[in-house]
């Protein structure tokens, strides 16, 4: 009889263990999450910092004992900013490595790839990519959450601010955008703002993000001589544009763009041209801000050779929000509990960004941008956060 | 058309065209003497720029001295490519030899991504400074001017070298018929080694001219290598003046296409030119149809 009781107890324990580790990627002492990012390729210098920042923050949390006794294991595969490779990486991480969630990454085209694959795996959460893709949020998907305001929201917020700063007011404008998923939304947002301020659109064109060609676009834009240029490009492409303006001896009276232009690597290449003519939207404080000290210190432990930048601070932000969600979800972690924990966040203060709020109706965490200008070769915060209304 | 737009189109066309032509010269040089289409020529050029910014720029030399060291090292690397990759089993078919260069292309790219991919793109200093000259409403930068100047001088020196020197004569002899050249006392292996040495040096110069304008990344030469082959084919594949003309025609055509038609249609337009040229003149603009006696 005692033998039977022992067997039954063992069987029950095994059943319990199976039940408690039912969530993929979650074991007694570890939560495995996956990510795909451009660790090499045309946008790697900027995008890889998002991953480095997140990994640094997870390392810091793990060193302090993890979350509910579990370490966070963040597995990142390189997609070199190729949507096809991003899909392949996601397939491997989800179907082979059995990760709990897809997390982070950087790049709109690659995020679109991840999202397309996860349509067949709707249970897998996809959290906080650095991507301005409207499809992340609309229609609302139970497991998909974003922190960064969409590119059109960024432009809706920053463009009126930029126009207000200009004296005299601009009469003509240009829009130069990367030809990637979601581009129509931000072109339309820019055109609408131009219309509202009576600015004539004199040049509007699309560029290929993976092509280095920018000179021909600047030649065309120069011929139209707009007062204000909206340039929605990745950081390396944007740097080429400003360099080309310098080469061709022309620049608009003012320019703005999307959050990619708050990368320090971008600034280091164009600060002399961009000074006084660029206002860009940031989502987190600059790395020079005292509030970013903990993030910078964490990065110094894991990647001492990498200079902190806007993207590494954004990486810390994504990790901090996920850690908070894991904490709220409790020891008995499941994907459903994680989603519920995220949706319970209302004004969560990270210290390095505006308050983070999610709900069951909105999976966008940040609703404001910080206007960044360039002074003496550095980014400076020009004013209070601007609401990035939908 | 706006004159400043026209001027910018001409300068941009001549600038890109001269770079296509220079890279095309290296391709034609190797093709003429060994009948190998060196698909790795662009990646060799990209690697040369990494040699500059990763190693040569730590040397206590002015920038032009670092350039010189880079070009020299790249030339030696070109010769090594021949010794290691193409000299073994030289009797292999030309397709075999050409596929070896495709393997080299992949290898150089993979190694560059492995070592330097994470932090690209890199800023590369220009030998010519970053000033601009204004002529009326039109601006031309020092590096654009310098690039055009270097390509013109190098192209002219190359043509003179090939026409007027003993080594150039020997190269021409090998190009026409290596067996007969060998029987007449020309050291074919040595000449071929020199050809790869020179091609390595030319590739390095092109890479060093391109990188300051468009930042250095591991895909630096991808837009150029295809155009360089196109220029070579336009010029007849065996003709040095032909590849120079082909490069300039291509550069100007794509520059004007981007202004008159659309930036996005300039590549289809330029390759349409290639197709039409090959349909009308199968031997290229300056070439002859090569007949083989069987």
Residues of chain B neighbouring A249 (CB-CB closer than 8 A): 132, 134, 139
**Residue of A85, A219, A236 for testing the chain B interface, max B β-carbons within 10 Å:** A219
C-alpha–C-alpha distance, residues A334 and A346, integer Å: 21
Helix, strand, or coil (residue A32): strand
- Give the pLDDT confidence of B21-61 residue by residue, as tens digits: 999 999 999 998 888 899 999 999 999 999 998 887 788 88
Residue A17 is predicted with a pLDDT of 45
Asked whether the predicted pLDDT for residue A307 surpasses 90, the reply is no
- CA atoms within 13 A of residue A67's CA, in its CB half-sphere: 27
What is the distance in angstroms between the Cα of A212 and the nearest Cα belonging to chain B? 7
Residue B177 is predicted with a pLDDT of 81
Q: How confident is the model at residue A3 (pLDDT cuts 50, 70, 90)?
A: low
**Which member of A44, A212, A216 has the closest CB to residue B118?**
A44
Is the torsion defined by CA of A232, A236, A237, A242 positive or negative? positive
Q: Following DSSP, what letter does each residue of A134-200 receive, concatenated? A: GGGTSS--TTEEB-SPPHHHHHHHHHHHHHHH-SSPPSEEEEEEE-STTHHHHHHHHHHHHHHTT-E
Is the torsion defined by CA of A6, A7, A10, A16 positive or negative? negative
Residue A389 is predicted with a pLDDT of 60
**What percent of chain A stands above pLDDT 90?**
63
Measured between its terminal Cα atoms, the distance across chain A in Å is 68
- Give the pLDDT confidence of A310-361 residue by residue, as tens digits: 999 999 999 999 999 999 999 999 999 999 999 999 999 999 988 899 999 9
- Answer yes or no: do A249 and B259 touch at CB < 8 A: no
Residue A16 is predicted with a pLDDT of 44
Q: Following DSSP, what letter does each residue of A84-95 receive, concatenated? A: HHHHHHHHIIII
The mean pLDDT value for B173-191 works out to 85
pTM: 0.75
Residue B206 is predicted with a pLDDT of 95
Asked whether the predicted pLDDT for residue B130 surpasses 50, the reply is yes
Least confident among A125-134, A318-327, B87-96, B155-164 = B87-96
Instruction: Work out the number of other CB atoms within 10 angstroms of the CB of residue A184.
Output: 12
What residues pair up with B132 in beta bridges, in sequence order?
A: B141
Helix, strand, coil % in chain B, rounded to nearest 5: 75, 5, 20
The mean pLDDT value for B100-108 works out to 94
- Give the pLDDT confidence of B213-232 residue by residue, as tens digits: 878 888 889 889 989 999 99
Q: Is A276 left (phi over 0), alpha (psi -120 to 50) or beta?
A: left
Is the torsion defined by CA of B177, B179, B180, B186 positive or negative? positive
C-alpha–C-alpha distance, residues A271 and A380, integer Å: 12
Asked whether the predicted pLDDT for residue B117 surpasses 80, the reply is no
Asked whether the predicted pLDDT for residue A252 surpasses 60, the reply is yes
Q: How confident is the model at residue A8 (pLDDT cuts 50, 70, 90)?
A: low
Asked whether the predicted pLDDT for residue A110 surpasses 60, the reply is yes
Which residues, other chains included, contact B122 with Cβ-Cβ below 8 Å and sequence gap of 6+? Answer: B53, B116, B215, B216, B217
What is the distance in angstroms between the Cα of A161 and the nearest Cα belonging to chain B? 31
Q: What is the mean pLDDT of chain A?
A: 89
- Give the pLDDT confidence of B142-158 residue by residue, as tens digits: 888 899 999 999 989 98
- Give the pLDDT confidence of A167-223 residue by residue, as tens digits: 999 999 999 998 877 788 889 989 999 999 999 999 999 987 767 778 889 988 998
Q: How confident is the model at residue A385 (pLDDT cuts 50, 70, 90)?
A: confident
Residue A377 is predicted with a pLDDT of 86
- Give the pLDDT confidence of B55-92 residue by residue, as tens digits: 877 888 899 999 999 999 999 999 999 999 988 887 77
Q: What is the mean pLDDT of chain B?
A: 86
Asked whether the predicted pLDDT for residue A2 surpasses 70, the reply is no
C-alpha–C-alpha distance, residues B231 and B239, integer Å: 11
Collect all residues from A whose CB is shorter than 8 A from any CB in B.
39-42, 44-45, 48, 80, 205-206, 210-213, 215-217, 219-220, 222-223, 236, 239-240, 246-250, 268-269
């Amino acid at each position: 009889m005692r033998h039977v009781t022992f067997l039954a107890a063992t069987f029950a324990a095994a059943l319990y263990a199976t039940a408690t580790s039912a969530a993929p990627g979650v074991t007694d002492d570890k939560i495995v999450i996956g990510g795909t990012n451009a660790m090499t390729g045309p946008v790697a210098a900027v995008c890889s910092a998002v991953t480095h920042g997140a990994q640094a923050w997870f390392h810091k949390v793990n060193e302090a004992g993890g979350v509910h006794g579990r370490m966070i294991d963040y597995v990142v595969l390189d997609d070199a900013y190729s949507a096809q490779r991003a899909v392949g990486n996601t397939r491997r991480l989800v179907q082979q490595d059995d990760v709990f969630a897809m997390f982070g990454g950087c790049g709109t085209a690659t995020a679109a790839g991840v999202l397309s694959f996860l349509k067949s795996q709707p249970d897998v959460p996809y959290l906080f990519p650095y991507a301005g893709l409207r499809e992340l949020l609309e229609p609302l998907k139970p497991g998909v959450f974003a922190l960064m305001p969409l590119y059109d929201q960024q432009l809706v917020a920053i463009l009126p601010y930029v126009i207000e700063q200009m004296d005299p007011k601009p009469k003509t404008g240009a829009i130069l955008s990367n030809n990637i998923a979601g581009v129509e939304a931000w072109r339309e947002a820019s055109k609408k703002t131009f219309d509202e301020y009576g600015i004539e659109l004199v040049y509007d064109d699309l560029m290929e993000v993976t092509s280095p060609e920018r000179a021909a676009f600047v030649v065309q834009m120069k011929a139209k001589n707009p007062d204000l240029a909206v340039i929605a490009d990745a950081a390396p492409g944007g740097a080429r544009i400003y360099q080309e303006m310098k080469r061709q001896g022309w620049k608009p009276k003012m320019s703005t763009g999307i959050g990619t232009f708050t990368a320090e690597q971008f600034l280091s290449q164009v600060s002399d041209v961009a000074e006084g003519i660029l206002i860009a939207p940031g989502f987190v404080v600059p790395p020079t801000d005292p509030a970013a000290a903990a993030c910078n210190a964490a990065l110094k432990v894991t990647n001492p050779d990498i200079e902190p930048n806007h993207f590494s601070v954004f990486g810390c932000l994504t990790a901090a929000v996920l850690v908070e969600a894991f904490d709220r979800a409790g020891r008995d972690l499941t994907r459903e509990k994680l989603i519920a924990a995220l949706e319970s966040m209302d004004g969560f203060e990270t210290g390095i960004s505006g308050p983070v709020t999610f709900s069951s109706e909105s999976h966008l965490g940040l609703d404001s941008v910080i206007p960044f200008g360039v002074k003496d070769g550095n980014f400076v915060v020009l004013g209070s956060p601007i609401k990035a209304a939908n | 058309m706006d004159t400043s737009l026209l001027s910018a189109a001409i300068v941009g066309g001549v600038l890109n065209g001269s770079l296509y032509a220079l890279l095309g010269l290296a391709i034609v040089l190797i093709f003429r003497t060994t009948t190998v289409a060196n698909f790795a020529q662009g990646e060799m050029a990209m690697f040369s720029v990494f040699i500059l910014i990763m190693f040569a720029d730590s040397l206590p030399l002015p920038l032009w001295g670092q350039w010189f060291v880079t070009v020299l090292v790249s030339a030696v690397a070109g010769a090594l490519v021949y010794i290691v990759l193409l000299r073994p089993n030289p009797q292999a078919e030309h397709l075999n030899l050409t596929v070896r260069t495709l393997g080299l292309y992949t290898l150089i790219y993979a190694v560059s991504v492995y070592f330097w991919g994470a932090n690209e793109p890199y800023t590369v200093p220009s030998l010519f400074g970053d000033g601009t000259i204004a002529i009326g409403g039109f601006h031309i930068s020092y590096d654009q001017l310098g690039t055009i100047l270097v390509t013109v001088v190098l192209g002219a020196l190359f043509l003179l070298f090939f026409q007027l020197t003993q080594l150039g004569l020997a190269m021409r002899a090998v190009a026409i018929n290596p067996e007969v050249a060998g029987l007449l006392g020309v050291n074919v292996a040595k000449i071929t080694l020199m050809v790869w040495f020179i091609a390595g040096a030319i590739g390095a110069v092109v890479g060093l001219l391109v990188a300051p304008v468009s930042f250095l990344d591991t895909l630096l030469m991808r837009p150029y290598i295809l155009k360089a082959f196109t220029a070579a084919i336009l010029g007849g594949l065996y003709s040095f003046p032909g590849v120079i003309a082909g490069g300039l025609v291509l550069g100007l055509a794509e520059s004007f296409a981007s202004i008159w038609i659309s930036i996005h249609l300039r590549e289809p337009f330029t390759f349409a030119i290639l197709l039409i040229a090959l349909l009308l003149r199968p031997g290229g603009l300056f070439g002859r149809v090569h007949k083989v006696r069987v």
